[in-house]
Amino acid sequence: MFDEVIVVKYQRIDYYNFLPGKEHFIYDVNEDAETVRIYIKSSPHICSCPECGRESKELHSTYERTLQDTPLRGKQVFIHANVYKYECNNPKCEQKVFVEPLPFAKMSAVRTDVLNQFIIGVSMFLSSEGASKILSLLGVTISNDTIQRLYDKIEFVDNPDVEGIGVDDVATRKGQSYATAIYDIKTHQLIALLEGRDGKTFREWLKCHTKIRLIARDRASAYASAINEILPECVQVADRFHLLQNIIDRLKDVFKDEIPAEVFIKDGVVLEAPPEKVYTLKPSEEKVLCNIVYDNSPPLNQDGSILEYDNKNRDLSSKLYSISRDKLKKNKN
């Protein structure tokens, strides 16, 4: 009798399509009460050398990279990538061994690019400490110092050929320090963040961007004078936020003049004058009155006598009272 043989075929799990790129596939997934672990590897066993660009199929070794990804249902998500190392077959290349890159994470990173964007998006409206606590509730483990380091790595790519920009002041520390934000009107991307809002740094920045033909700005006179001085032919327009703000302020003034402070409506009709107040006596409920017990008997001492209260206890023989009495007599005389 032959022993039962169980044959397990290797089956690639390729129905997960949330990973960027088609060169990696998921071959295993483990989930517990707190974490979700996804195991991936690359399909093609070929990679280009980052130094010389020649493709290589000579496998040197493999190692595993663990990356934290965006949370799933409040659980921490970790991606375990089986990364290949290749040998460069170009004898003239100085790079003998190189590692295949991951399209969704930087080299030596411990978090995916999508997770870093998620962290910055959440912490943009909070402090670093507050964002760290909120992210921990969502399923992301990160310290407030790491969030600050992510902010320090952000670079604003300036475009010297930009033709339309928007200018506005932003508070780096509300009530204390301000900066000038410049963004591209077409892409809505921030291209420069200048110190101060007095127009001095903005004036120097305009000298290096003479191709600008359209500027949307707020009503600050410092920005207007800088534009008129450096780019006098540039078209200046007010941004939508300040236009709407001015319209709302104007409408409030109109409503205050045209609409009275109080409007009285009775039976669906607006009254020209306030109605007369009608005072009615609200009848008491008999059930409530029956449950109230009144006791108007005076308080008693321990011996049964009535306790009398005298809120004007005075010692007529005291020195203070005699002085006041003598002064009162002198004033009468």
User: For residue 78, what pLDDT is reported?
Assistant: 92
Highest mean pLDDT among 21-25, 51-55, 254-258: 51-55
Does the predicted TM-score (pTM) go above 0.85? no
Per-residue model confidence as pLDDT tens digits over 94-127? 888 888 888 888 888 888 888 888 888 888 778 8
Q: Tell me, what's the pLDDT at 314?
A: 65
d(CA 156, CA 152): 11
Residue among 157, 131, 156 nearest 144 (CA): 131
Residue 12's pLDDT band, with cuts at 50, 70 and 90, is: very low
Beta bridge partners of 63: 83
Say how many Å lie between the first and final Cα of the chain, rounded.
140
Let me know how long the chain is.
Answer: 333
Indicate the pLDDT class of residue 1, thresholds 50, 70 and 90: very low
Decide if pLDDT at 311 tops 70: no
- Residue 225 tokens, joined: 């004078």
- Residues 77, 71: Cα–Cα separation, whole Å: 5
Residue 21 has pLDDT above 60, yes or no: no
DSSP state of 21: S
- Angle, vertex CA 241, rays to CA 239 and CA 243, nearest 5: 70
Rg of the chain in Å (alpha carbons)? 40
The torsion of the CA quartet 257, 261, 265, 270, rounded to 10 degrees, works out to: -20
Residue 306: pLDDT over 80: yes
Q: Which two tokens stand for residue 212?
A: 């600008």
- Band (20; pLDDT cuts 50, 70, 90): low
Residue ranges per structural domain of the chain: 17-105, 111-154, 156-291
Look at residue 209 and give its three-state secondary structure. Answer: coil
Q: What is the mean pLDDT of residues 324-331?
A: 83
Model confidence pLDDT, tens digit, residues 33-81: 888 999 988 888 888 888 888 888 888 888 889 999 988 888 889 999 8
Token pair of 318 as six digits: 């005291």
Cα separation, 6 vs 312, whole angstroms: 106
Cα–Cα distance measured from residue 24 to residue 101, given in angstroms and rounded to the nearest whole number: 11
Nearest to 220 by CA among 237, 241, 197, 200: 197
Dist. CA 117–CA 114, nearest whole Å: 5
* CB 213 within 8 Å of CB 237: no
**Which structure tokens are listed for 90?**
């170009």
Q: Above 50 in pLDDT, residue 6?
A: no
Provide φ and ψ at 80, rounded to 5°.
Answer: -105, 105
DSSP 286: H
Determine the average pLDDT of the residues in 236-248: 83
Residue 123 in tokens: 């912490």
* Distance from C-alpha of 20 to C-alpha of 145, rounded to nearest angstrom: 28
pLDDT of residue 13: 43
pLDDT bin (cut points 50, 70, 90) of residue 312 is: low
Does 204 score more than 70 pLDDT? yes
Supply the angle between the helices 113-123 and 128-138 in degrees, to the nearest 10.
Answer: 120
The C-alpha atoms of residue 178 and residue 18 are separated, in whole angstroms, by: 40
Residue with the two structure tokens 């420069």: 192
Q: Which residue has the tokens 């308080």?
A: 299
- The architecture (CATH level 2) of 156-291 comes to 2-Layer Sandwich (3.30)
Give the mean pLDDT of the chain. 82
**Using one digit for the tens of pLDDT, what is the confidence trace for 158-179?**
888 888 988 888 887 777 788 8
Residue 4 — very low, low, confident or very high, per pLDDT cuts 50/70/90?
very low
Token duo for residue 88 = 């460069």
Q: Above 60 in pLDDT, residue 200?
A: yes
Report pLDDT for 171: 82
Q: What are the beta bridge partners of residue 270?
A: 265
pLDDT at res. 53: 85
Region of residue 74 (phi > 0: left; psi between -120 and 50: alpha; otherwise: beta): left
Q: Are strands 269-270 and 35-42 parallel, antiparallel or unpaired?
A: unpaired
Question: Count of H helices and E strands in the chain?
Answer: 8, 14
191 or 22, greater pLDDT = 191
Mean local confidence (pLDDT), 232-255: 85
